[in-house]
Structure 1
Amino acid sequence: MFLTISGLAKSFGDNKVLKDINLELDKGEVLSIIGPSGSGKTTLLRCFNGLETPDKGRMSFENGLTIDFGEKASKQSIDTMRKKSAMVFQSYNLFPHKTVLENVIEGPVIVQKEKRANAVERAEALLEKVGLKEKKDFYPHQLSGGQQQRVGIARALALKPELMLFDEPTSALDPELIGEVLTVMKDLAKEKWTMIMVTHEIQFAGEISDQIVFMDGGYIVEHGPPQEVLKAPKQERTKQFLQRILNPV
């Protein structure tokens, strides 16, 4: 198993945001996390790459790295975990004063100390992959939201992560631009990238996911393959959520 999560919990003051989270993810699988706002989805995603540190629980990777947060995980182990993943944010988070190409090579050159020439070659290949090679010398303000998000995906891929994390990558986009980002993500799923995605795109999640998690109130309420969770949910709370999302009044 690529990643195993056991008993993960996280609070902000008196607010218990995550409660006893248990998950497994195999290499090449896509896991989608759905649920109402405030259910803990984004906090859970941020725990996977160290942007948030759980209060307790355990995270184990297939190469033997295990982090026990109840024992106050070391900075070194959290740094090692962080290097395994790359995140695509809902608000793009591109450097506005850098070109598209400079945004994509920033991580490999500055953080990973890769030779610039190698980083540029890989960045150009990734920009071609997301359909934006001709925009490599543009600045973010010269791009549409969908194009900026595709640059964000290329930037994440440039870090050569073992795990791709997507935090509602289409939520800031106009409806007509959503498709171009989902197409890139669908291609990544076909290429067997290991991915965890927080999304409100329920139909899309059903198409590309191996597992769906429905969260509410900090708990995993329902978990299983898409055909079970989306088509035949067992829990009443899941049924209510899907009814409101898929059949709005």
Structure 2
Amino acid sequence: MFLSVKRLTKAFGELEVLKDVDLDIDKGNIVTIIGPSGSGKTTLLRCLNALEMPNDGVFAFHDGIEVDFSKQPSKKEVTALQRRSGMVFQSYNLFPHKTALENVTEGPLIVQKRPKKEVLELAENLLNKVGLGDKMDLYPHQLSGGQQQRVGIARALAIQPELMLFDEPTSALDPELVGEVLKVIKDLANEGWTMVIVTHELKFAEQVSDQIIFIDEGRIIEQGPPEIVLKSPKQERTQQFLQRILNPS
């Protein structure tokens, strides 16, 4: 087990977005989260990275570290939690005034204070890995959406996280650019990365996932391997959702 999440709860004012969510993530597994818009998928992902602070819940990691959100965690605990994961956003979130290479080196150099020579070598290797070795000196506005998202993936990998988080990484892309981003994620899956992915790409989810979670109105309705959740779901709500997605007429 890499991470066990218990009783995760998150509210924005009176609106309770996540309600007592329990989630286990095994090391080297890919967990995919699906569900309708507004169901709490992105909030769940952002809570895993403490970009949103849960109102309650306990995160227990494989190395014995626990973060209990029923008490106010210290800034040090939150920072340590954030450093475990790399986040890939649906809208890229690149620095527009920095080149692809500078975007990738920012975290390791500025936040982690790692040696410049080591970071530059790592960043170049990562940009080559995502197929952008010839685009290192270009700025975001000179890149396609798919290329920008691949820079975003390289940037998240550059902090050398234990966990990769993807928030609908293809939703802002033109259809013909989706494949190039999904290929990079598939390659990471084949390398054994631990990942949590929020996506509407059900075929992709079926191909890469060890576990699929269907969430609705802030609760996990169904979870299990893709052949169960996507092919023969037990819950009526899951069946309704998949029917609507797969047969939208």
Check whether TM > 0.5: yes
How far off is 1:117 after superposition? 1.1
Q: Residue 70 of structure 2: SS of its match in structure 1?
A: helix
1:246 matched residue in structure 2: 246
Further displaced range: 74-83 or 185-194: 74-83
Letter in 1 for 2:220: I
1:183 and 2:183 correspond: yes
After superposition, where does 1:157-196 map in structure 2 within 5 Å? Answer: 157-196=157-196
1:88 and 2:88 correspond: yes
2:221 matched residue in structure 1: 221
**How many pairs were matched up?**
249
After superposition, where does 1:113-152 map in structure 2 within 5 Å? Answer: 113-152=113-152
Per-residue CA distance 1:157-189 (angstroms, 9 max, x = gap)? 001000000000000000000000000000000
Q: Residue 6 of structure 1: SS of its match in structure 2?
A: strand
How far off is 1:120 after superposition? 0.7
Partners of 2:59 and 2:245 lie apart in 1 by 32
How far off is 1:71 after superposition? 1.5
1:37 matched residue in structure 2: 37
Letter in 1 for 2:147: Q
2:197 matched residue in structure 1: 197
After superposition, where does 1:97-116 map in structure 2 within 5 Å? Answer: 97-116=97-116
Give TM-score scaled by structure 2 length.
Answer: 0.99
How far off is 1:116 after superposition? 1.1
Partners of 2:235 and 2:28 lie apart in 1 by 28
How far off is 1:57 after superposition? 1.2
1:23 matched residue in structure 2: 23
Partners of 1:144 and 1:75 lie apart in 2 by 37
* 5+ long unaligned stretches in structure 1: none
**RMSD across aligned positions (CA):** 0.6
Partners of 2:182 and 2:106 lie apart in 1 by 24
Kindly report structure 1 stretches of 4+ aligned residues shifted beyond 4 Å: none
How far off is 1:136 after superposition? 0.3
Partners of 1:247 and 1:195 lie apart in 2 by 28
Give TM-score scaled by structure 1 length.
Answer: 0.99
Partners of 1:93 and 1:10 lie apart in 2 by 24
Per-residue CA distance 1:49-92 (angstroms, 9 max, x = gap)? 11011111111101111011112222211111111001000000
* 5+ long unaligned stretches in structure 2: none
Letter in 1 for 2:192: K
Percent identity reads 65
